[in-house]
Amino acid sequence: MATRPYDDDGAILEAVKIPVKPPRRYQVVLLNDDFTPMDFVVEVLMRFFGMDEAKAVAVMMSVHSQGKGVCGVYSKEVAEMKVMQVNHYSRENQHPLQCQMEIV
């Protein structure tokens, strides 16, 4: 007697579909402060987020006028890495610029 791949003592089992949720996404944001020069913020956006100058200036102006600006939306691991890189680079260059991540 040939067996079927899903046989269990002669009973055929049904395949069960388990719903899979997409992974959470996180937005990386820069926070405004009164000390970091605008050109440094533009440099950070171009260097770490691959923005062209026009996009970087627009995000920088959002940071300046609204208190924060979204740099991008990423998986948790990528967002954590970008936050760490930006904060480290800012301290290395003696600027208080703060970068953080938020759940979308």
Distance of CA 44 to the CA centre of its chain: 15
pTM metric for this prediction: 0.82
- DSSP label at residue 20: -
pLDDT at site 11: 72
Tens of pLDDT, residues 67-76: 999 999 999 9
On whether the CB atoms of residues 14 and 84 are closer than 8 A, the answer is no
Beta strand spans in 1-104 (E): 7-8, 11-12, 26-31, 68-74, 98-103
Instruction: Give the residue ranges of the chain where pLDDT is below 50.
Output: none
Give the pLDDT confidence score for residue 100 in this predicted structure: 98
What's residue 2's pLDDT? 56
* Residue at token pair 């990423």: 74
pLDDT for position 12 = 73
Q: What does the block give as tokens for 103?
A: 């759940």
